[in-house]
Structure 1
């Protein structure tokens, strides 16, 4: 993970500069990388307040591919040689033809900006490495936009100060489920 910080941080800093004014970002992944896409979307929403959604690569070509707003950036997480690699390769010309800004979190360049991570990790465990560049991107976008995590617990989000909307939540299990 430390190696990935060194590899990804400079690339992510440049990418965040390019994307800081966007109000939406879409995260794509398949297989184990599908969870990485969800994590990336959650972090950028929580940290920078950017509307983000995640989607499976296959579903993207049936759904968001057809969105009228082709300016929405795409972060594609696709390990080279992984089961989803061939479908990710097919997606590249589609993104290019739409003019969608794109970045690939991968151990191989694929489309747009290549955000590298450490190699030699089995595909099943790569999401643990993916979180590094995805979290770095959210942090950089937060910094550039002058945001604070969780909207800083200010204004309409005052009830979330210090994580209180989750920390003090009570989980009750109805006796019928015991």
Structure 2
């Protein structure tokens, strides 16, 4: 199979992945944390690098809304080197901190380092990984397994979705034990998440053809801005990451509000396309309406990925099936991956540049796995 076909196979597999794995991950989560431990949680940090960080970003708003706790997504470097970098805290006080460390491989050095460091400072550590025998598996006190059936080789897609499923499962379990949500409501949301399988399948049918056509039009561009707000900022980060990894396009993720402060001023706007993830139910929806007009005024080539019933007519617009804003990043995975796959195919670029030439040091993820741990 070609690398494009491999990527498409991964995308095609996402609906079945959600249908079969969401409940299994929930079942594992129910057994991990004891009720007194959950009662003691006062703050939650979800940390990761790359796709794992975007997964943390995607689920943090939902967990915050469900639990009422301070919940933040944090880059692994910040968690490893900059949390509590001043006066050493008392370990007993930190026991109220739940640290959720996400790494599918379990070998990302900064994630391992952050987990070890925060555990020593007294935090309760929960690793989310497909590799329980990894360094992360040995560093965290508890492990939520996201081991999923293997698929074709392509830039991370299935692992990203599995990581989000784990994050939602953690949030729902905390909420029902803390009684900020009834068990009936939590179970209804679990059913809703499993039912998103159909939404992903529909999004796949909607996205594939138009994005191939768009990639044909955009193949001369070498940079792009990818925009979103709230949970969709994670979609922007993931979408930008796949464009870099798959097609070598210099893609930058940006908040839709911050775009008006910063990226708005890019030179040659007609040569720098924009992809905007814009859930119709989003709290930022009114700003998205203004954003479309802004893009038109600049003449920026645009792809608007939305489930809104109606937006100003500009650019290419993909109308995805409607979902709650909390869950939009799951569905956004489909068009984001399609765009990366199609763009790489159109310009004939090898994923990850084949880990050859100046990129050879990334072979086997050596640059992220072999960095020295400082705990």
TM over 0.5: yes
Q: Report if the CA contact (8 A) 1:117-1:133 is conserved.
A: no
1:87 aligns with 2:322: no
Q: Report if the CA contact (8 A) 1:25-1:50 is conserved.
A: yes
1:27-46 superposed matches below 5 A: 27-46=226-245
Partners of 1:149 and 1:62 in 2: how far apart? 33
- The worse-fitting range, judged by mean Cα deviation, of 110-119 and 96-105 is 110-119
Q: Could you say which residue in structure 1 is the equivalent of 2:334?
A: 132
* 1:171 to partner: Cα distance: 6.4
- The worse-fitting range, judged by mean Cα deviation, of 89-98 and 105-114 is 105-114
- The worse-fitting range, judged by mean Cα deviation, of 105-114 and 142-151 is 105-114
Q: Report if the CA contact (8 A) 1:7-1:118 is conserved.
A: no
Greater RCO, 1 or 2 (C-alpha within 8 Å, sep 6+): 1
1:76 aligns with 2:276: yes
Partners of 1:2 and 1:23 in 2: how far apart? 30
Q: Report if the CA contact (8 A) 2:233-2:255 is conserved.
A: yes
Question: What is the CA deviation profile of residues 41-66 of structure 1, one whole-angstrom value per residue up to 9, with x for unaligned ones?
Answer: 11101110000101111111111112
TM-score of the superposed pair, with normalisation by structure 2: 0.44
Q: Could you say which residue in structure 1 is the equivalent of 2:370?
A: 169
* 1:122 to partner: Cα distance: 1.2
Number of equivalenced pairs: 172
Q: What is the DSSP-based 3-state SS (H/G/I as helix, E as strand, rest coil) of the residue aligned with 2:261?
A: coil
TM-score of the superposed pair, with normalisation by structure 1: 0.90
Structure 2, unmatched stretches of 5+, are 1-199
Q: Report if the CA contact (8 A) 2:281-2:324 is conserved.
A: no
Structure 1, unmatched stretches of 5+, are none
Q: Could you say which residue in structure 1 is the equivalent of 2:255?
A: 56
Q: What is the DSSP-based 3-state SS (H/G/I as helix, E as strand, rest coil) of the residue aligned with 1:61?
A: helix
1:113-132 superposed matches below 5 A: 113-119=316-322, 121-132=323-334
Structure possessing the higher radius of gyration over alpha carbons = 2
User: Which structure 1 residue ranges, 4+ long, deviate > 6 Å from structure 2?
Assistant: none
Q: Could you say which residue in structure 1 is the equivalent of 2:359?
A: 157
1:5 aligns with 2:204: yes
Partners of 2:367 and 2:278 in 1: how far apart? 34
